[in-house]
Amino acid sequence: MKFVQFFLSVWSVLFIGAVCQGQVIADESSAAEQKAVATDPSGKWIQLFNGKDLEGWTPKFNTREVGENYKDTFRVEDGILKVSYENWDVFKKEFGHLFYKDAFSHYRLRAEYRFVGQQVAGGGGWAIRNNGLMIHGQTPDSMEVEQKFPNSIEVQLLGGNGKKERSNLNLCTPGTQVEMGGKLIEKHCISSNGPTFHGDDWVSVEIEVRGSDVVKHIVGGKVVMEYNHPQLDDGTLLESGTISIQAESHPTEFRKIELMVLKP
């Protein structure tokens, strides 16, 4: 009987120790997962672009490996983050994206940008004065070498041609889809109620992202588009993801990209 009691006592200690160790491992794993997504709602604007270099950003061009800044397209000059085609002769659908290092879930994203110069030869007509803020995106490391766009939600940045109206902050959905009015929208690009911006003036825009619940496109304090349940084409809800800007054949400049983490 004493031996049985001793055995049960030892077994209890080992079992409790294993549970505690398992809990520690689980907690560490959970902490690591949480660290991947910024969750500190400080109420302050975080500058994603430091105004000096591309620290914290990673380029990915289709047909190229992660990290190769093809033809020095993404660069920083005079405090401006530029999408430059100075070294290009012709564009052959080498679409590029520049990814910020952290993923985010609940936040406000604000950017100041403008289109400059002429589109590089070979660019599509739809890509004239066209860029985008890609949110809830996959990581650059998870993209295929030949993949043109990350699976993401694209908040489209568009400039006018000086003649026709062209709404800004539209929605495009590479590898994704959203819901509007309780209905699943599978159309690739959807126009917003955003204004047209002609010329080379700086434009300020904002995006409010609430995980997989709701996303709002904002210009001048006015919501010009709103939708729910951003998701992959297979229906997986997008609770968080990367942020990136594009290189689609038209020179673009960014003088500010900043973010405020919000409480879930």
Task: Tell me the sheet residues that pair with 96.
Answer: 61, 247
Nearest-angstrom CA–CA distance, 238 and 246: 20
Burial class (CB in 10 A: 0-12, 13-18, 19+), 13: exposed
- Give Cα separations from 18 to 4, 14, 203 (angstroms): 21, 6, 57
pLDDT in the model for residue 40: 73
pLDDT in the model for residue 27: 39
Q: In the structure encoding, which two tokens stand for residue 247, read together?
A: 């290189």
**What type of residue sits at position 249?**
S
- Give Cα separations from 96 to 83, 117, 147, 148 (angstroms): 10, 18, 10, 7
pLDDT in the model for residue 42: 74
pLDDT < 50 regions, the chain: 1-35
Q: In the structure encoding, which two tokens stand for residue 219, read together?
A: 């210009």
pLDDT tens-digit map of 129-169 = 999 999 999 999 999 999 999 999 999 999 998 889 999 99
pLDDT in the model for residue 24: 40
pLDDT in the model for residue 235: 97
pLDDT in the model for residue 161: 87
Nearest-angstrom CA–CA distance, 84 and 250: 8
pLDDT tens-digit map of 66-84 = 999 999 999 999 999 999 9
Q: Let me know how long the chain is.
A: 264
